[in-house]
Amino acid sequence: MRKACVALLYLALIGCGGGDKVAPADGEQSQQRFEWKLVTSWPKNFPGLGLAPEHFAEAVERMSNGRLKIKVYGAGQLVPALEVFDAVSQGTAEVGHSGAYYWKGKIPASPFFGAVPFGLNAQEMNAWLHYGGGLELWRELYEPFNLVPFAGGNTGVQMAGWFNREINSIADIKGLKMRIPGLGGEVFTRAGGISVNLPGGELYTSMQTGVIDATEWVGPYNDLAFGFYQVAKYYYYPGWHEPGPALELIVNKQALEALPDDLQAIVETAARAINQDMLDEYTARNNAALVELVEKHGVQVRKLPDDVLAEFQRLSADVIAELAAEDPLTKRIADSMRAFAAQSSAYHGISEEAYYNARGK
């Protein structure tokens, strides 16, 4: 009976001239359904970072009335955390949520779309990406990998990290063993420290047993949950190495292009919405977590001395200049970001920064 009805419906459509079109008319909807896999570099539902892909999937499913369903896989459930890029590039999954700096080994310029030391903060990063040419450069960078990147969230300025030795001058960095990966780690090494890379799950024990003297992680919201206050004496700021870390939402190019235009628009707009949502969440929860760390757990919050920050900034400029020399596209990206940073730094000096300073009086 059901089959006969579908046939009747089909005939009715054909009879009305609806059968010779592939694309639906304006105001009508393709009823084609899609099911996507979304792989991430975070444990399932990891606070902050791991909620963004869930929110993305929910928004897309609701807006598409279920025509595009997205199943979210935590790190290791379908592919390991650091194989998200390859999995989406190859089409094992249609979409991924991760951080661009993880791909530095294969794409030298990728940290510019994650975080570079003494680079843009969250507000500036979003402005550069969406109104400063950044996103176009990112698309060009990922094009050979069959990927279309979108900004996928931002944590805001991170903390400098948890330390078991006091930092009173740049001399105290010498020989300090710290978990600090990426370009920040390179800067730290040049300043005389010993940078190591360890996965998040090993940090607590490594601090507890003295395998490392210090570790950076994210900020109060995530750090509180990890319990670092139990194994570290000091909580240093500001997060010079990751001032506005952007996450990425990467989509397989063929998968995106196979969608009708309305679903493509739904994917783009949902990405934009979760990009802001993550920063909103971190901003709100970091506040509350910091209060708990200080008032309940007696955490000692310290500022990195000016000479240490100045030396890190000097070395960061060197590291970025060397990175920019790797290839022409990396240079174009570095130049674009530096030009934007010079202006935004000047403007924010008399707007956001000046306001923070005025308010603090």
Return d(Cα 223, Cα 218) in angstroms, integer.
6
The answer to whether 325 contacts a second copy (rule: CB under 8 A) is: no
Q: For residues 29 and 169, which CB has a smaller minimum distance to a second copy in the complex?
A: 29
- Strand arrangement, sheet containing 246-252: 68-73, 34-40, 95-98, 246-252, 147-154
- Contacting residue, 277, 300, 329, 332, with a second copy by CB under 8 A: 277
Return d(Cα 120, Cα 122) in angstroms, integer.
7
How far is the CA of 339 from the CAs of 119, 287, 334, in angstroms? 11, 32, 9
- Contacting residue, 233, 309, 329, 336, with a second copy by CB under 8 A: 309
- Give the SS3 label for residue 29: coil
What's the closest the beta carbon of residue 113 comes to a second copy, in angstroms? 15
Q: Is 6 left (phi over 0), alpha (psi -120 to 50) or beta?
A: alpha
Q: For residues 184 and 243, which CB has a smaller minimum distance to a second copy in the complex?
A: 243
- Contacting residue, 175, 313, 321, 335, with a second copy by CB under 8 A: 313
The answer to whether 21 contacts a second copy (rule: CB under 8 A) is: no
DSSP state of 74: -
Q: Report CA torsion sign: 86, 88, 89, 91.
A: positive
Let me know how long the chain is. 361
Q: For residues 100 and 270, which CB has a smaller minimum distance to a second copy in the complex?
A: 270
Residues within window 217-236 making contact with a second copy, judged by CB under 8 A: 219-220
Among residues 224, 239, 218, 215, the alpha carbon closest in space to that of 303 is found at: 239
- Contacting residue, 140, 287, 297, 335, with a second copy by CB under 8 A: 287
The answer to whether 131 contacts a second copy (rule: CB under 8 A) is: yes
Q: For residues 108 and 119, which CB has a smaller minimum distance to a second copy in the complex?
A: 119
The answer to whether 281 contacts a second copy (rule: CB under 8 A) is: yes
What's the closest the beta carbon of residue 130 comes to a second copy, in angstroms? 4
The answer to whether 243 contacts a second copy (rule: CB under 8 A) is: yes
Binding segment for a second copy (CB under 8 A), chosen from 108-116, 199-207, 210-218, 264-272, is: 264-272
Structure tokens at 224: 């509180």
Return d(Cα 235, Cα 101) in angstroms, integer.
24
The answer to whether 279 contacts a second copy (rule: CB under 8 A) is: yes
Residues within window 58-117 making contact with a second copy, judged by CB under 8 A: 59, 62-67
Q: For residues 90 and 357, which CB has a smaller minimum distance to a second copy in the complex?
A: 357
